[in-house]
A = this chain, B = another copy of it.
Amino acid sequence: MKVRDALRFVYDKQKKMFILGGIISLLDWDQKTYMPRKASTDRALQISLLSKSLHQLMVSDDLWKNIEFLTREKNVEKLSEEDRIVVERLRRDVEKARKIPTDFIERMSKAEATSYSAWEVAKKRSRFDIFCPHLERIVELKREYCGYINLEGHIYNNLLDDYEEGMRYERLKPAFEYLGDKLSRLLNKLESEKKIDLKLSKKAQERLSFTILKYLGLKRDRFRMDLSEHPFTTRLSTFDVRITTRYVKDKPLSSLFSTMHEAGHAIYELNLPKGRFRYTVISDAPSLGLHESQSRFWENIIGRNYSFWKFFYPILKRIEPALKTSVEEIYRYVNSVERSLIRTEADEVSYNLHIILRFEIETELLNGEIEVKDLPEIWNEKMEKFLGVKPKSDREGILQDMHWSTGDFGYFPSYTIGNVYSAQQFYAMRDFIDDLDAKIEHGDFKEILQWLSENIHRFGRIYTSEELMRRCCGEGLNPRIFIRYIESKYLDI
């Protein structure tokens, strides 16, 4: 075997995987935007056929043989810096994927499908007992999965690592405890102010959304926005990134924030590394948390910033000339804080408390400290502890999220990691960009976009997100920075 041939082989396979991944994303995008309802059975067949092909490519002996050959000491030396990065990263991914037996993947996906259906029924009827045996099965399978991966430390690390490569329970636990304590206290000091006299037609909301996209530099020749029930972002290929938004009745600015959130993801996706890295595993984000930091940055740090509203208020006024609310009132409205029961509707302060609650439950569940059957009670207790409110039903309590029904354990922390990272990035770029506030006030986001691209986006998966944060912000996850950000903002409002 020659190094050159082996290199070509692994690049070809990665390209094929990249292309297949993009097609699966299109199938998924279409399903959530335009697909006729009756097509869902066939769509599932289409997605599963390609997902299987993708997985087979990933775990094939051929690919593994070539990677092993390229990572032999005497061959590594012959690789260029870029190729070495690609091959090493690919090796880790493939090694991990090959740890999981094929029959497990099938058992898992079957369990997820039935569990999801059971959760739907259970939520509808607000009856945890319908979902309970399914969740028990899922937890059992997740434990089996952890056995295959078998990382050091807490069992939860094996799940966390799928979303936050390199992040560990042992590091998150104290950070989340600190955040939980600080945010609970802060919440006690803040009063809710959720009313506003602002009504916007769908058309006006649409215009607001498309206007902000223009300021963020998203061009229509490589990007588009459509509607879906749950907003999302997806990359179909190098120059094809799509977001969705939705218009919610009685929440006139919801679509604007949703658009800014997804635009943050989209900007990241469009700036991922190209060239030699284009069709490789490097052309991706290192972690969901870092990805989320980009969406939160635009949605919260910018979108809920006073300078931003000084810039955006005249635009809103142009689109809705009847507007009576002042810029200060709008600023207070978009930053109103509430002890709410539902995570997806939570504000900047309380959102992380919802996550920390889930993190505790997930880790204790995996660890065997608590049992699935006791979850409704545990949930309610923790809600009282963190948020000071108690759900009246399982529907607005333990059953509110679908994530566990589809086996997504280890996923929730990414949201809070993203929130913390976004504040850290904001302070870092503040030191770097002159007159940042004035620029935001003028809707001039050029330097912000540039800072993000140069310090974060263009590295793809070359570094882990913690390494990347150390490079651009001087340190990894630091919840103190987030608390500084949130206190300086909310104690001031």
Show the binding face of A for B, using Cβ within 8 Å.
15-16, 19-20, 22-23, 26-27, 30, 34-39, 41-43, 45-46, 49-50, 53, 220-224, 226, 236-240
Contact = CB atoms under 8 A, between A and B. Distances in A.
A20 B236 CA distance: 18
B27 A46 contact: no
Given A26-B27, A30-B30, A42 B238 contact: yes
Given A23-B23, A26-B26, A39-B240, A226 B34 contact: yes
B36 A220 contact: yes
Tell me how many chains of this kind the complex includes. 2
Contact of A236 (B23, B39, B49): B39
A237 to B, nearest CB: 3
Contact of A42 (B42, B224, B237): B237
Contacts of A220: 36
Nearest to A16: B49
Contacts of A20: 49
B240 A19 contact: no
Contacts of A23: 23, 27, 46, 49-50
The listed residue with most B CB atoms (<10 A of its CB), out of A53, A224, A226, A240, is A240
Contacts of A46: 19, 22-23, 26, 237
Nearest to A43: B237
A36 B224 contact: yes
9 contacts: A15-B45, A19-B46, A26-B30, A30-B30, A34-B34, A37-B222, A38-B240, A39-B239, A42-B240
Contacts of A239: 36, 38-39, 41-42
The interface residues of chain A, by DSSP majority, are classed as: helix
A306 B59 CA distance: 64
A39 B46 CA distance: 22
Nearest to A238: B42
A222 B42 contact: no
Contacts of A26: 26-27, 30, 46
Given A16-B49, A30-B30, A49-B16, A240 B22 contact: no
Given A23-B23, A42-B22, A46-B237, A34 B224 contact: yes
A243 to B, nearest CB: 12
B221 A38 contact: yes
A45 B19 contact: yes
Q: Which 4 A-B pairs have the closest CB atoms?
A: A42-B237, A39-B240, A38-B239, A38-B222
A36 B234 CA distance: 13
A53 B37 CA distance: 28
Contact of A221 (B36, B49, B50): B36
Contact of A237 (B16, B39, B224): B39
Contacts of A36: 220-224, 239-240
A200 to B, nearest CB: 22
Contacts of A19: 42, 45-46, 49
Contacts of A240: 35-36, 38-39, 42-43
A19 B39 CA distance: 12
A238 B45 CA distance: 12
A15 B41 CA distance: 13
Given A34-B34, A39-B222, A39-B237, 12 more contacts: A15-B45, A19-B49, A23-B50, A26-B26, A36-B221, A36-B222, A38-B239, A39-B238, A42-B238, A42-B239, A43-B237, A43-B240
Nearest to A49: B19
A220 B37 CA distance: 8
Given A22-B46, A42-B22, A221 B34 contact: no
Nearest to A278: B42
A464 B226 CA distance: 42
Contacts of A38: 221-222, 239-240
A270 to B, nearest CB: 10
A328 to B, nearest CB: 39
Nearest to A15: B45
A224 B38 CA distance: 11
A46 B42 CA distance: 20
Contacts of A238: 39, 42
A236 B19 CA distance: 19
A17 to B, nearest CB: 11
